[in-house]
Structure 1
Amino acid sequence: MNTNINNIKIFSNLDDCTLKKIYQASDLKKFKKNDLLFAEKEKLKYIYLLVEGVVALYKPNKTDNGKKVLFILGPGEILNELIFDNEPTPLSCEFLTNGKILRVPKTFLNELMKNNFTLCTSIITSLISRQKRMIHQMKTSSPSITVDRQLAFKLWKLAKDFGKSTNEGTEINFDLSITYLAEILGNKRETISRQVKVLVNNSLINLHKKRFIIKDSEKLLEYFKTENKN
């Protein structure tokens, strides 16, 4: 069976016969860094599943042409489960790296779900997991938490999810500008730039050409936790 199918989380518990049906009905698409997969208010005919790369799901901000980044997702994730309600997608999705998408027709997957309890359960589990993640993000970005510690936690989490080991520490394995980091945290670029310098001066992180390196993940997480104990 094609590994593109096997590595998708919502398909991980399906039998080979079902996986073969999905494989035959779907296709694989390649994308480049900064490509837009879909835009807010689009009517989508496909379910998109990330095979390779890193993407961001975000809500465009029309007042300043910016965005509020809600999720950074890696391989194995379903990107648009919200379209099962037949409404236009409320979010946009863009690639932060080169990547590949497995594209499954929505009508096909809907028919498959009618007689496949395991698939239904997997998609419901994905929805619940995404909701829990959103709630946790709200807690870690509370106004009661100083911006430097919000930043510390976000960088720790990104390194945990997308990090690779280097001689300096754990490098977040995609380009991340100060501007984009500000859009993730929902703050001004100038504020985030100052707080990055705070973490650098505390010898917790390094920044080289849009690549963040976490020098010691445990110390960075402790930096975040310390403020919350006060």
Structure 2
Amino acid sequence: MPELEYLRNIPIFEELPPNDLAAIAEVTIERRYKKNMIIFMEGEPGEGFHYIKSGKVKIVQISQDGREHIINILGPGEVFAEVLLFNRGSYPATSVAIEDSVIGMIKNNDLENVVTENSRIALHIIRVMSKKLIHAQRKIKTLALSDTLSRTAQILVRLSQQYGQPVANGVQIAIDMTRQDLANLVGTTRETVSRVLSSMKKDKVIDFAEQQIIILDEKRLDRYQER
């Protein structure tokens, strides 16, 4: 797919006219990563803005006792390290390819040069980033007020929207994910999330085998979110 088409599928750039997209495409670098390769480490000097052309990436932070906390799992068209836009800080988290991936990257200096010459691009990016900040604030509020069951349901709904594939008995979340991975996303322990999943399975809301989860009843799962 031509670079302009990739960029047009990224929310932060999708509404830009062709000339603006072309200016951004000129400074885009493509990098390829094998499964489990580290893209960047938390604390390293921030190099630039990244987006996924193919594959999947997890964003993680490591606690002082060595435990991994998964912040997000991202797929094609999604962006990461955008916090470094116009900011010369260090990476706030570690990113790891969880399958063979192709990543587009725009270095900070190059993007700054583009927006300096085109205020329309700068204004558009600011608007999109403001929306993302509002979303992040809502997520923090939800985590503070929700119990483990509703948080798990919220994560499953989001993953099904991103990676769901129709199967005979429901929607399968087409991503290999351990119980620990899911627990990290929910913000709880593996034992707790296992109990929640077992309860959902008993209620015939989901089914699971090994690292695959199938949503059997989307309406009831939605109701779990509201608890």
With structure 1 as the length reference, what TM-score do the two structures score? 0.88
Query: Match for 2:133 among 127, 131, 134?
Result: 131
Q: Deviations over 1:68-122 (max 9, x none)?
A: 2223323222211222221111111122333211122221110111132332233
Task: State whether structure 2 residue 204 is matched by structure 1 residue 198.
Answer: no
Q: 1:206 to 1:102 in 2, by over 3 A?
A: same
Q: Deviations over 1:169-205 (max 9, x none)?
A: 1111211110111111121111111111111111011
Do 2:71 and 2:184's aligned partners in 1 also have CA atoms closer than 8 Å?
no
Task: State whether structure 2 residue 217 is matched by structure 1 residue 216.
Answer: yes
Secondary structure at 1:125's aligned position in 2?
A: helix
For residues 198 and 110 of structure 1, what CA distance do their matches in structure 2 show?
Answer: 50
For residues 199 and 74 of structure 1, what CA distance do their matches in structure 2 show?
Answer: 26
Unmatched segments (≥5 aa) in structure 1: none
RMSD across aligned positions (CA) = 2.0
Secondary structure at 2:23's aligned position in 1?
A: helix
Deviation at 1:31, TM superposition (A): 2.0
Do 1:59 and 1:69's aligned partners in 2 also have CA atoms closer than 8 Å?
yes
For residues 67 and 128 of structure 2, what CA distance do their matches in structure 1 show?
Answer: 28
What is the aligned partner in structure 2 of residue 4 from structure 1? 6
Do 1:140 and 1:153's aligned partners in 2 also have CA atoms closer than 8 Å?
no
For residues 171 and 29 of structure 1, what CA distance do their matches in structure 2 show?
Answer: 30
Task: State whether structure 2 residue 48 is matched by structure 1 residue 38.
Answer: no
What is the aligned partner in structure 2 of residue 19 from structure 1? 21
What is the aligned partner in structure 2 of residue 151 from structure 1? 152
Do 1:68 and 1:183's aligned partners in 2 also have CA atoms closer than 8 Å?
yes
Give the % identical residues. Answer: 23
With structure 2 as the length reference, what TM-score do the two structures score? 0.89
Unmatched segments (≥5 aa) in structure 2: none
Deviation at 1:49, TM superposition (A): 1.4
Secondary structure at 1:50's aligned position in 2?
A: strand
For residues 25 and 7 of structure 1, what CA distance do their matches in structure 2 show?
Answer: 17
Secondary structure at 2:12's aligned position in 1?
A: helix
Secondary structure at 1:40's aligned position in 2?
A: coil
For residues 184 and 217 of structure 2, what CA distance do their matches in structure 1 show?
Answer: 25
Query: Match for 1:97 among 91, 96, 99?
Result: 99
Q: 1:172 to 1:71 in 2, by over 3 A?
A: same
Secondary structure at 2:175's aligned position in 1?
A: coil
Q: 1:224 to 1:46 in 2, by over 3 A?
A: closer
1:52-201 matches, within 5 Å, as: 52-63=54-65, 65-83=66-84, 84-142=86-144, 144-201=145-202
